[in-house]
Amino acid sequence: MSNKNEINLENKIMDKVMSGEVKMKPRLYFILGSILSFVGLVGLIIGSVFFTNLTLFLIRKQGPGTGRLMQMFDSFPLWIPFLALAFLILGVVMLKKYDFSYKRNPLVIVLTLFIAVLLSAKIIDSLGLNEIWSRRGPMRRFYTGDQQQVLGKQGPRYNRY
């Protein structure tokens, strides 16, 4: 019975394609879409790991103690954890579009991705990459206290004319 339904459905779809009611997309369209989706997912996960790592580094840099809590809130760039969370949420949304995620429990996927991001950020922090990045290279602006530069607002040294 199901074999007959499959053939009938196939004939209906082919009739719609032949009549021009439905237009078929080329295979390259779907291949490029899959590649771009995967690259976007990887980029979102890398961004989430980086900003989570940066958040952990900045919290550790502020030092422990409740007396420094207000100082930390005053000087801590709050946009960084929000951006990390946004990247993580977008990564989960994109991950749900892949076939293998339909076969799994969504809560398990979200928790696995969350734990993987936290572990990756902790590993980067424990390897000492934060100290290297905070002293030199293009990442330095994220690690220094000059948040004006990170946000794109130029200081007085650029206003020469």
Report domain extents, the chain: 36-151
Share of the chain above pLDDT 90, in %: 0
* Interatomic CA distance for residues 71 and 63, integer angstroms: 10
pTM: 0.58
3-state DSSP helix/strand/coil percent for the chain, to nearest 5? 75, 0, 25
Q: Nearest-CA neighbor of 109 among 120, 118, 96?
A: 96
pLDDT of residue 25 exceeding 50: yes
Q: How many residues does the chain have?
A: 161
What would the mean pLDDT of 1-21 be, rounded to a whole number?
Answer: 77
Sign for the pseudo-dihedral over CA of 36, 93, 98, 80: positive
Distance CA 77, CA 125 (A): 18
Question: What is the DSSP secondary structure assignment for residue 101, as one 8-state letter?
Answer: G
Per-residue pLDDT, averaged over 142-151, amounts to 54
Predicted local distance difference test score (pLDDT) of residue 144: 66
User: Does the pLDDT of residue 127 top 80, yes or no?
Assistant: yes
What is the distance between the alpha carbons of residues 3 and 157, in angstroms, rounded to a whole number? 75
Euclidean distance between CA atoms 146 and 16, whole angstroms? 61
The confidence score (pLDDT) of residue 5 equals 67
Q: How many CB atoms lie within 10 A of CB 26?
A: 8
Whether residue 110 is predicted with pLDDT greater than 70 in this model: the reply is yes
Confidence of residue 21 (pLDDT cuts 50, 70, 90): confident
